[in-house]
Amino acid sequence: MTLVLSNDEVSGLLAMPECIEVLEQVYSELARGLCLSRTTSECMAPSKRPDAVYALKSMDGVIPSLGVGSVRINSDLLTAPSEGGRMRRVKVPAAPNNRYVGLVFLFSSETGEPLAIFPDGVVQRFRVGATNALGAKYLARDDSSSVAILGSGWQAETQLTGVCTVRSIDTVRCYSPNRERREAFAARMSRQLDMAVTAVDAPEQAVAGADIVLCASNALDPIFFAPWVEPGMHLSSIKRPEIEPKALRRVDRLVVHTHDKGSTVLTTADLQDPEKAAGKGRAAAEEIDFQTLPCLADLVSGGTAGRRSDEEVTCLVNHMGLGLQFAAVGAVVYRKAKAKGIGHDLPTDWFTEKEHP
């Protein structure tokens, strides 16, 4: 049988510590060439909405030690509005009932059969939060106790949960441009983490004196700047443009998520990638050669050193995702769902065939 799960079911199965644990194992294997992740590909074309483009994105990975491979597919309408003078990447929930479309297909690497199908939303947030938590585990000071988080959207929650899993945090300050959203985020996370999360009125208030600074936004422009860098600070981003290049140059130990050169983006002849055209997002910080920097797999496997002193400024730039993250976290979801009898079974014969493909 092939298991079908909802986001609500996935959310009830996942916990941040086990996501961090499985990704730590997988990055160590990746450094030794024992698992695989394919470069993300994205096909972009005009849509009927004048303010949006259609994007079909896929990424995949295979992890033999877990017995799985996965494909993650997104079918998106993308817009690039400006707010407060900054361009943002915003997906439009244009499917029926105002919904997004992102699916993960988990396969057995032993038999080839489809094991599970589930939406990508919850897994997406957990795999990014766990990845950046690994960066903090290896790069942040052991005595780090204060966090600044820039952003209060759908990625911010797991970013904060992840770092609180690997460090004993007792102080959190949150800033995002929308007062109502940042205050709601602070109240929700205060309850969830059982600590005071304080919403502040300016990013400088959040980052001043923070041991760890988490960038968790949908901005396509920098939100963290060089004058804010302090000795001993650990910086973290979930996309390439969030930390301005001048700030990155002040970092003593800079690690990137992967040496993958970036998504393969194809466009129709009548469309130019809006981020590339604006020199933002994927096109940001091109003056920094990420290929010469150590990556997270090097850090986790011991191939490169982590923090060497309390005064060093460290940083993880999580500039792109990897398909193997969905295979790793998906394997955890599938194992727990089967053990707990959660989800809906469909005949595997519906997804397999006798005809030679």
Q: Tens of pLDDT along 20-65? A: 999 999 999 999 999 999 989 999 999 999 999 999 999 999 999 9
Rounded-to-integer distance, Cα 230 and Cα 232, Å: 6
**Helix, coil or strand: residue 102:** strand
Model pLDDT, residue 240: 86
For the entire predicted model, the pTM comes to 0.93
- Confidence (pLDDT) at 275: 67
Place of tokens 């595997």: 348
What DSSP assignment string belongs to 2-69?
Answer: EEE--HHHHHHH--HHHHHHHHHHHHHHHHTT-SEEPPPEEEEEE-SSTT-EEEEEEEEEEEGGGTEE
Instruction: Determine the average pLDDT of the residues in 116-144.
Output: 97
Least confident of 26-30, 67-71, 165-169, 278-282: 278-282
Residue 33 tokens read as 């060439």
In the chain, the domains with their CATH numbers are 2-123+323-350 (3.30.1780.10), 129-317 (3.40.50.720)
pLDDT at 132: 98
Q: Among 210-214, 264-268, 281-285, 341-345, which is the least confidently predicted range?
A: 281-285
Rounded distance, CA 56 to CA 77, Å?
A: 9
Residue at token pair 């800033």: 175
Element (H, E) at 156: helix 156-166
Average pLDDT over residues 246-257: 96
Mean pLDDT computed over 283-292: 68
Report which of 235, 237, 246, 257 is spatially closest to residue 314, judged by C-alpha positions. Answer: 235
